[in-house]
Structure 1
Amino acid sequence: MRSARMVVLGAAVAATLAGCSRDATPELMNLRSQTRGPDEFGVLPRKPLEMPQNLAELPAPTPGAPSRTDPTPEADAIIALGGNPARAVSGDRGLVSHVSRFGVSPSIRQTLAAEDLAYRRQNDGRLLERWFNVNVYFKAYRPQSLDQHAELERWRRAGARNVGAPPETAE
């Protein structure tokens, strides 16, 4: 009888410990891969192959030129936003000069990384949250998050038109 209780108690302890072994942080919050495999966000799929209307009128091959199936994310984004990729300017000087009009800090990445580390250390959760590896990421950054619906309404009240937003609903 006593050995049966010990077996049941041992199984309960093992099950409890096994339940604690899962990773508490979602994979998408880990921006650096922990594996040696390819980065799934760094791989661009090829465009689908197309069958020409007339095989006799194929264009001449151009060695060294890009393939029609090569990914073109910049041009695809311009087309998706309603623009003309032929008129796009790489590294628009006007935009760059406007953005950098107040100066450019060469160490901005290091500064932001240090400030973010200090902020995360101040908001790293209470003692039991740290002991039990509770994810406090969303709670820590909640004051900095943007309420997208309230912001959309604020812009609509100001008269701004946003073609990417869903239409207003009649309530």
Structure 2
Amino acid sequence: MNEPVLFLLLLLALGFLAKNKSLIVAIVVLLAIKLVGLDQKVLPIIQSKGINWGVTVITIAVLAPIASGEIGFRQLVGSLQSLSAWVALASGIFVALIAKNGVTLLANDPHMTAALAFGTILAVSLFHGVAVGPLIGAGIAYTVIKMVEYF
């Protein structure tokens, strides 16, 4: 058995132990791609485009209430009358800016991907986190690295 399959099986076991369906599905899909023999063609595409696809799917999910009519201008204006909405607005801006720097870091320093991916896997499998971590994690890492370089 080769190392990638063994590693994925170990992560699959972690996924089952943590009862994390997203991690289980992701690993099963990756194992299926490898077992069918499409890994040389498909995995590079997933690796290079997957984050963008994921961001697109998340964006669609976030915008779905607008498309369905559940959220309109009235709700937007009404929500901005509370402090928590302004905190959410600022948080959204902050996270988007941090994530932008994460893309830069991952593009310029690809070896960081392994550490970030492992951190995300640990958080998802052991702490029931959500797998948006690599991009945000890279953004935070970029910010910390730049701060350290500055001082």
Larger Rg: 1
TM surpasses 0.5? no
Q: TM-score, normalised by structure 2?
A: 0.28
More helix by share: 2
With normalisation by structure 1, the TM-score equals 0.26
